[in-house]
Chain A
Amino acid sequence: MKVLVGVKRVIDYNVKVRVKSDNTDVDLSNTKMAINPFCEIAVEEAIRLKEAGIATEVIAVSVGSSASQEQLRTAMALGADRAILVETEDTAEPLTVAKTFAKLMADEGAELVILGKQSIDSDNNQVGQMLAALTKRPQGTFASNVSVEAGHVAVTREIDGGLRTVKLALPAIVTTDLRLNEPRFAKLPDIMKAKRKPLETKTFADLGVEVKQHIQLDKVEAPAARQGGVKVGSVDELIQKLKDEAKVI
């Protein structure tokens, strides 16, 4: 069984996000970038399937700039067998990414696609669902457990107030939640080997993916700076302030 995993290059979660002074976008110049944490979990899950003898090949796929090669190399250092970069200098919309995966899923004959439930930069939470719709295949989103059985994958999903397990016929799409697994650290010899694993670069045109713009980014603003706190003298005063000043009760 071939497994495709999505790998997105995003701002490192340790880095403080800065907004460009003209509010057009987040300032990414010279910031440390990393694999989206949910994608890292997806890679880990795919590698575990390979180690368990279930997956035969793990292919890491990124849609992004040429710099995304770094994150694909990381995925290969963690254990992915090869990588495909669909190169674009523009931010790809969720639908474009979903279309790209749909095409690659068909081309590669992948039976399982594991994606992060969302990326920590734009927090859209859309690609997995759109991919399922485009390919008319079942989806198991927000996975906290994945187990593949003959022709099926059972996915335990994190939902409000509990867990829900669904059984999907393969091929299927799974998106990962935080608790699915704890990604490993790359081993040094594997980092070296990753340099020699195949990384193929394609364009939307190569794949016949039509890029249409549906979303326009109007502006980006930093959250309001936190105001200093005040000490209240009594519970009554607190309640009064919550009512009159904060207007939350």
Chain B
Amino acid sequence: MSYQAPYKDMQWLVEQAYQTQQLGNLESLQDFDLDLANAIIDEASKFASGVLAPLNMVGDEEGCTFSDGQVTTPTGWKDAYAQFRDSGWIGLALPEEYGGQGLPKYIAQPVNEMWLSSNLAFVMFAALAQGGSEILLKFGSDELKARYLTQIVTGEWTVAMALTEPNAGSDLGALTTKAIPQADGTYQIKGQKIYITYGEHDMAENIVHLVLARTPDAPAGSRGLSLFAVPKYRVNEDGSCGEFNDIRCTGIEHKTGLHGSPTCSISYGDNDNCVGELIGNLNQGLMAMFVLMNEARLSCGMQGVGLSELAFQKALQYSKERVQGARADGQRVAILEHPDVKRMLLNLRSESFALRSLGYQIAALIDVSEQSDDAEAVKAAEKRIALLTPIFKGFATEQANELAGDAVQVFGGMGFVEETGIAQVMRDARITTIYEGTTGIQAKDLLHRKIRVDQGRCISELMADIRDVVEKSPDSVVNQRLGQALNQLAHVLDSTILNPSAELAQLDAVAVPFLNALGGICCAWQLVELAQRAQVSKAEDEVFFGNVVALAEFYSAYKLPQAQAALTTVIDEQNGVGNYEF
């Protein structure tokens, strides 16, 4: 059986996020209530299981092919793209003015999750369209907006985000692609980019590359980067596609996973005839890119959720069918009856449930930050989003890898064999901790920019909110366990992270364990709060809500201690990292 959207989970968690962030009070969201959310989730789920999921394995097996500068996507990709575009899904959360539907993020998030679960490799154009449009909306001139936005929002054209170069990956400041000013105000773009997702493909008429490049007198490093809109075909006065803009795909990568998604090397201006237009101000390209990157990081975190869900569904199904081993009375059983298999499935289930909840809460916070008239609420939401983004991106994707591994383990030898499809999930998940900023980069962002620069104010507010949840039922074991983890975290912040005399190299060596600790605590927080609500609603659906309570118990017993162990690592100065000679 291929992917089926976890409708009940989604519906309930969307409702919780809506209520927690009090979206019902926002004037501009009056037309976008939970009934609409449910209707859209329902229809999107049909599309995800009916159209996208069946192509997931096709994409993996066939991959993209490259010949003579052309990229051919796998069988069925083109039609699916046309259907996706014509159904209006690309403009889901983009302005109506440009042909989108202007839906709030809290509705877009579960919809995106379904796309990511059902066919991650395929649907990567959607996040690019979303992020690219937001950049143009925020920083583009009216002319650029008029030229590109409607085409992008309606999916006529796609977007590629061109940052990475052979010598500039995590460190974008090192990039060397040039932008040479011309008399008419445009720029000649010249340089090589690598790893560009959908940088070339056969699904749309034109591709708008958002290229990060450097003008001749720009300052060195990341302060000298500017962002340019560089279409594959130049755009005529009447909006139609014109002359070829000297952008060549020179190859695609042969990858561990995401075979269906073309990862392109692109050469700009081989014949000095590649025209780009500046987006926003000179030398502020990275700032503009950050809009896209934050969006992309959240979306990447949702990839972690989506893949974990897919892995869970496949593993659960298999565990019900595979008969192996026996009960004490000699009766042979499906492996689902073995407690250790249950443990692995609950790893998957509890983590993906908690991370889904966190992802939906962040989406609802974005709605608050974008739609509320209350300046203070907006500011608070923005700060919270900024803090949670690296935690969510880093932790959800790291977990997706671990959980995909668990799912393979449930399959035993069949998991290592390709035909079951679970190995694909593991391979596809592998990239999620790397692109959109590696886990190491997320962890440093969290540690320095989001916590130390702000002197711990934002994290203290988060901890106070978690403390409130803990204190709602102080007698419950799961609450007590979370309370202990919070105490430990407070100690780690005081003694190490926020300690003015802490050594930077020492801190950087424990940045990822610190991120993982916060990830685990945030997930436990979600589950403890959800379990409290489940207790209240229990009579409505004993099985579902009873299970939510069980997930909180499981998490606090099996997973939260891993966060606590990570905290122990963070404060232990004698960790050997600085002493070993490589």
Contact = CB atoms under 8 A, between A and B. Distances in A.
A73 B35 CA distance: 11
Nearest to B92: A188
B89 A188 contact: yes
Contacts of B43: 74, 77, 185-186, 188, 191
A185 B39 contact: no
A188 B40 contact: yes
Nearest to A31: B8
B544 A32 contact: no
A28 B22 CA distance: 30
Contacts of A30: 8, 540-541, 544
A34 B39 CA distance: 11
A30 B46 CA distance: 19
A74 B51 contact: no
B46 A185 contact: yes
Nearest to A192: B101
A187 B39 contact: no
Given A185-B43, A188-B88, A32 B50 contact: no
Interface residues of B, number: 25
Interface in B84-99: 86-89, 91-92
Contacts, number: 52
B42 interface: yes
B97 to A, nearest CB: 14
A164 interface: no
Interface in A134-193: 185-189, 191-192
Contact of B101 (A29, A32, A186, A189): A189
Interface string A1-43: 0000000000000100000000000000110101000000000
B7 interface: yes
Interface in A195-223: 195
A176 to B, nearest CB: 19
A39 B40 CA distance: 20
B47 interface: yes
A29 B541 contact: yes
Given A14-B4, A188-B92, A74 B42 contact: yes
A195 B32 CA distance: 10
A132 B250 CA distance: 67
Contacts of B47: 185
A191 B40 contact: yes
Nearest to B540: A30
Contacts of A194: 39
B83 interface: yes
A185 B36 contact: no
B289 to A, nearest CB: 28
Given A29-B541, A192-B101, A185 B83 contact: yes
Nearest to A194: B39
B8 A188 contact: no
A21 to B, nearest CB: 11
B200 to A, nearest CB: 28
A237 interface: no
Contacts of B87: 185-188
A51 interface: no
A195 B36 contact: yes
Contacts of A70: 38-39, 42
Contacts of A186: 43, 46, 87
B88 A189 contact: yes
B492 to A, nearest CB: 42
Contacts of B31: 195
Given A14-B4, A185-B47, A77 B39 contact: yes
Nearest to B1: A14
A47 to B, nearest CB: 15
Contacts of A191: 36, 39-40, 43
A49 to B, nearest CB: 21
A30 B8 CA distance: 8
Contacts of B540: 29-30
A188 B36 CA distance: 11
Nearest to B4: A14
Contacts of A73: 39
A77 B43 CA distance: 10
Contacts of B88: 187-189
Interface in B533-563: 540-541, 544
Contacts of A34: 42
Contacts of A192: 36, 101
A17 to B, nearest CB: 15
Contacts of B86: 187
Residue of B43, B47, B86 with highest tally of chain A CB at under 10 A: B43
A74 B39 contact: yes
B140 to A, nearest CB: 24
B228 to A, nearest CB: 31
A34 B540 CA distance: 20
B7 A32 contact: yes
Nearest to A32: B7
Nearest to B36: A195
Interface in B133-187: none
Contacts of B7: 32
Contacts of A32: 7-8
Given A29-B541, A191-B36, 14 more contacts: A29-B540, A30-B541, A34-B42, A73-B39, A185-B43, A185-B50, A187-B86, A187-B88, A188-B40, A188-B87, A188-B91, A191-B39, A192-B36, A195-B39
20 contacts: A29-B541, A32-B7, A74-B39, A74-B42, A74-B43, A77-B43, A185-B47, A185-B50, A185-B51, A186-B46, A187-B86, A187-B88, A188-B43, A188-B87, A188-B88, A188-B91, A188-B101, A189-B88, A191-B40, A191-B43
Interface of A: 14, 29-30, 32, 34, 70, 73-74, 77, 185-189, 191-192, 194-195
